[in-house]
């Protein structure tokens, strides 16, 4: 079946460091890909998405590029802030008919001042 | 739009009591989902509805759990009787059905069963 694999956390960084959170997927076909963010005590919020190969999603300084060759959608940010501390979920959904979102297990990011 | 609205935000109840969680989806969204999140099991899809009809309830853990959607703007998740192992954060989400939109989540209900 379709699945998403994320790097284990927590990822611990100092403020202004470069962030990469790895995400790879397995899918029969070409899905749409998403990153969701969950801040402490809140629900999941859509951070960015990409719907086809080579698309780049971006929001709030975060970016991720849909790489079909490596079946990856790694999340990056050039300079993290303490306020970026949260859990980040990678997810996919197939584009044929109605499909359910398939989530990764989440990666916790901790940014210290 | 106010987004997906869940109530209550926090619920503390005694074992054996009935608990009802509520959700108002975004107007115009045809799909509604109930999720449970725990440290041990992560995010689990319990059930989802399309146009108020339950489509897949294979994630509902046992008969103590039930969900209804009497109209397009309201859904409930009920646990009767509740047990301590039901303690979790329960999220509701809605979607317009076009897959590339993804889902919009509510803020969740933190349930504690003592």
Answer yes or no: do B102 and A95 touch at CB < 8 A: no
Contacting residues of B for A103, CB less than 8 Å apart: 42-43
Q: B52 is written with which tokens?
A: 């108020």
pLDDT category at B1 given cuts 50, 70, 90 is low
Give residue-wise pLDDT tens across range B65-104: 999 999 999 999 999 999 999 999 999 999 998 777 889 9
Give residue-wise pLDDT tens across range A2-17: 999 998 889 999 999 9
Query: What secondary structure does DSSP assign to A73-99, as a single string?
Result: --EEESS--GGG-EEEEEEEE-SSSS-
Quick one: pLDDT at residue B79?
A: 97
Give residue-wise pLDDT tens across range A28-64: 888 999 999 999 989 999 999 999 999 999 999 999 9
**Predicted confidence (pLDDT) at residue A100 exceeds the cutoff of 90:** no
Residue A105 has its nearest CB partner, among B42, B91, B106, at: B42
Quick one: pLDDT at residue A95?
A: 79
Answer yes or no: do B91 and A43 touch at CB < 8 A: yes
Answer yes or no: do B105 and A100 touch at CB < 8 A: no
Q: A62 is written with which tokens?
A: 């975060």
Mean pLDDT of A75-93: 97
Which of B100, B106, B110 to substitute to test the interface with A, most A CBs within 10 Å? B100
Is B1 within 8 Å of B106 (Cβ atoms)?
no
Which stretches of chain B sit within 8 Å of chain A by CB?
4, 31, 42-43, 45, 48, 50, 56, 91, 93, 97, 99-100, 102-108
**Predicted confidence (pLDDT) at residue B23 exceeds the cutoff of 90:** yes
> Distance between CA atoms of A8 and A105, rounded to whole angstroms?
8
Interface of A with B in 64-93 (CB under 8 A): 89, 91, 93
Give residue-wise pLDDT tens across range B27-61: 999 999 999 999 899 899 999 999 999 999 999 98
Q: B63 phi and psi, to 5 degrees?
A: -65, -15
Q: Residue A65's Cα: distance from chain center in Å?
A: 10
């Amino acid at each position: 079946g379709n699945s998403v694999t994320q790097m284990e956390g927590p990822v611990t960084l100092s403020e202004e460091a470069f962030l990469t959170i790895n995400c790879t997927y397995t899918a029969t076909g070409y899905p749409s890909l998403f990153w969701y963010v969950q801040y402490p005590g809140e629900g999941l919020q859509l951070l960015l998405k990409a719907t086809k190969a080579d698309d780049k999603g971006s929001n709030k300084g975060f970016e991720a590029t849909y790489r079909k060759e490596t079946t990856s959608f790694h999340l990056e940010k050039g300079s993290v802030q303490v306020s970026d501390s949260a859990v980040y979920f990678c997810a996919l959904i197939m584009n044929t008919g109605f499909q359910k979102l398939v989530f990764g297990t989440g990666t916790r990011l901790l940014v210290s001042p | 739009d106010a987004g997906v609205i869940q109530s209550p935000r926090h619920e503390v109840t005694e074992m054996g009591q009935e608990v009802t969680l509520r959700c108002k989806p975004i107007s115009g969204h045809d799909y509604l989902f109930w999720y449970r999140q725990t440290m041990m099991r992560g995010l689990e899809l319990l059930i989802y509805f399309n146009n108020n009809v339950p489509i897949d309830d294979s994630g509902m853990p046992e008969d103590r759990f039930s969900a209804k959607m009497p109209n397009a703007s309201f859904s409930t998740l009920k646990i009767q009787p509740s047990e301590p192992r039901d303690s979790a954060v329960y999220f509701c989400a809605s979607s317009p059905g076009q897959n590339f939109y993804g889902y919009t989540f509510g803020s969740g209900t933190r349930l504690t069963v003592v």
